[in-house]
Structure 1
Amino acid sequence: MEWIQRIMIKAQFGANASKYVVSPRHASGQDLKTLVEWAQPENAAQALDIATGGGHCALALASFVGEVTTLDITTEMLQEAEVFLTKKGCTNIRYVVGDAENLPFAKEQFDMVSCRIAAHHFPDPDRFVEEAWRVLKYGGSFILMDNISPEADRHPL
């Protein structure tokens, strides 16, 4: 059943990729300012931005890390993010098509992993967190920001 969800997610987000770059909700907000505050002192060599969307989180990180790898399940989203980030002068960005629940990276590859306003779309959020943890170096930072929380009966506090 999850493969059907992934096909639907790819179709929906691929068709709307250009809208995410210009979306005021995605392009700005206190959460991006907070992300910068958290990321700045980390001095990370390599960061991974999962479900990068329009690339706004990657843009916020690019000034504070050596290289940002952006990952998204849709090629169209990555293409839009690349155009946006290139226009912003970012030269330390990599673009990788991939699934947040099955990351195509080695264990402990990144100093920092971020995911902003996306995890609520993932069919298996627990699997996503396991994968983020797997690719994060020991002592690294995992920054997860979302605007929708899980159901109370699924993940009790």
Structure 2
Amino acid sequence: MAPESAMLRPMDSSAARISLVPVDRRQSETALAIARGTSRLLRSLGFATISELPLPSGRRADLVALSERGEIWIVEIKSSLEDLRADHKWEDYRAHCDRLFFAFTRDLPCELFPQGTGLIVADAYGAHLHCEAPEHKLPAPTRKLMTVRFALAAAQRMNRLIDPQGHAD
């Protein structure tokens, strides 16, 4: 029988290089830092988070958070004023969540962000909820669809970590 230390070693060290976050090289270092800090805040509020989740509309949400009660929040990350001004797709996200937030660095003034959205100020180490988002409850079929998408994406990403050679991309 192999020594215990040998049994605990991963079969292939490439698993450590697999990213659980799809990175398409469009995200800036600032956006990745905001996502990290925002995810930490959401976890502290009792949410599980997943990044870059494809939505039924064909869009892709920066962060989607799911609570134990089934509440779904979407967080749109803005790393600069140019990023905010260029984005007009964020309104489509409302159809897929109970609450919609923008997360950004403290370098951007809150007044620039659209009314009726929540605001999260973040850096790589954490975040705080600056302004609560209004609630607009999802219809049950949409909630189920989003919850299944969330679960499948999370399971597939975990499986890629466990079995990196078992996935062709």
Structure 2 length as normaliser, TM-score? 0.28
- In terms of fraction of residues, the more helix-rich structure is 1
